[in-house]
Structure 1
Amino acid sequence: MRERVLRGLAVWGAVVVAVGGVAPVASAAEGPEADLAYHGSAAMASGRVDVGFTPRNHGPSAVPDATVRLRWSHPLAFRQTLPDGCARSGLRVVLCRVGALAADGLGERIEVGVWLRGAPSEVLLEIDTVWSGGAVDRNRDNDRRRVLVLDTGDEYHF
């Protein structure tokens, strides 16, 4: 048990270093205004969830850098192979660097595949911005997504 706790602390430390320190999204009184959104799909088969989405900034200001959080309602398997720019943060969370987004611009598509512990018949996936490089997003509705993904192999779009 102690090894798990130490391993978890080491992973969290790596996440903070990899993401550059995750800070909450700026309050409405600070920084330039931007409007982040995520659109994509998720599919699950036999305990594996594949998520792909494209970040977008509706503006009016550019975002120097951003980080998105993917959170599952079911714990992730202990070992994961994540793409560059993504790091695990706890039992159910993966953080991914979005990068800079021009005003009214699209970012690079993000593709993440994870294994869940066991083989659940469904999982709730939540996606949201946890850091926006100091930009203020007054429309938080389109950068917060909740998707119920069933173990059918079908794609669920958001």
Structure 2
Amino acid sequence: MRMRRWVSGVCGAVVVAAGAAGPAGAVAAPEADLVFHGSAVMKGDQMEVRLTPGNNGPSAVEDASVLLRWSVPLAGVQRLPGGCARTDERTVVCETGALAVDGAGQQIKVAVRLGKHPAEVTLEVAASWNGGVVDRDRTNDQLKVLVLGTGDAYAF
């Protein structure tokens, strides 16, 4: 008899503890693994970045955005593609659109004028907003690329 009370007491404690972890019926945020691949070319004060966003899953992403940040300031006036906006003197953010599981999104092409003619620039590419999904693997959506002013394409 004593054994039964102890077992039922322990089981009751486990149920109470599990209920305290979160509201009943709470759904965890969906998971997705955003990834960015592309290239960057710099010649003089001109730089072109082409990137393709992707999603390794397991959930689809309704919309996301990618941040592009240069190690040098951009020139004052820029002609950015639709869906892109300058957020400060060195940063542009572009929307990716919907990203299906195991699919690639539309290529994003951003051409900018740099504020000076550097010999090299570090370009940072990172997920800026991920549509509310959890991304546990940040190694493929937070990148830094050294781009030399040779006119050669540097892949990432």
Q: TM-score, normalised by structure 2?
A: 0.81
State the one-letter code of the partner of 1:86: C
Distance between the aligned counterparts of 1:40 and 1:122, measured in 2?
Answer: 18
Counterpart position of 1:71: 69
2:42 equivalent in structure 1:
44
- Verify the 8 A CA contact 1:75 1:92 in the aligned structure 2: yes
Provide runs of 4+ in structure 1 moved above 3 Å: none
In structure 2, how many angstroms separate the alpha carbons of the residues matched to 1:30 and 1:125?
34
Change in 2 beyond 3 A, CA 1:57/1:72: same
Output the CA distance in 2 between the equivalents of 1:130 and 1:30: 21
| Aligned equivalents of 1:67, 1:118: Cα separation in 2 | 27
Specify the alignment match of 1:82 in structure 2.
Answer: 80
Q: Percent identity?
A: 56
Q: Name the CA distance, whole Å, in 2 between partners of 1:127 and 1:155.
A: 16
In the TM superposition, what is the alpha-carbon distance from 1:105 to its structure 2 partner?
A: 1.0
Structure 1 residues 6-155: aligned runs within 5 Å: 31-155=29-153
Instruction: Quickly say closer, same or farther: Cα 1:118–1:103, change in 2 above 3 A.
Output: same
Q: Any gaps of 5 or more consecutive residues in structure 2?
A: 1-26
> Offset of 1:118 from its aligned partner?
1.4
Q: How far has the Cα of 1:30 moved from its partner?
A: 5.4
1:130 deviates by: 1.1
Instruction: After superposition, give the CA deviation of every residue in 1:74-103 in whole Å (9 maximum; x if it has no partner).
Output: 000000000000000001000000011011
Q: Give the letter aligned to residue 129 of structure 2.
A: W
What CA distance in whole angstroms lies between the structure 2 residues aligned with 1:130 and 1:111? 17
Q: What secondary structure, in the 3-state scheme, does the structure 1 residue paired with 2:48 have?
A: strand
Provide the rounded CA distance (Å) in 1 between the counterparts of 2:113 and 2:145.
Answer: 17
Counterparts of 1:40 and 1:101 in 2: how far apart (Å)?
16
What is the aligned-residue RMSD (CA, Å)? 1.1
Q: Whole-Å Cα distance in 1 between the matches of residues 62 and 29 of structure 2?
A: 11
**Partners of 2:57 and 2:116 in 1: CA distance:** 41
Larger Rg: 2
Paired residues in the alignment total 130
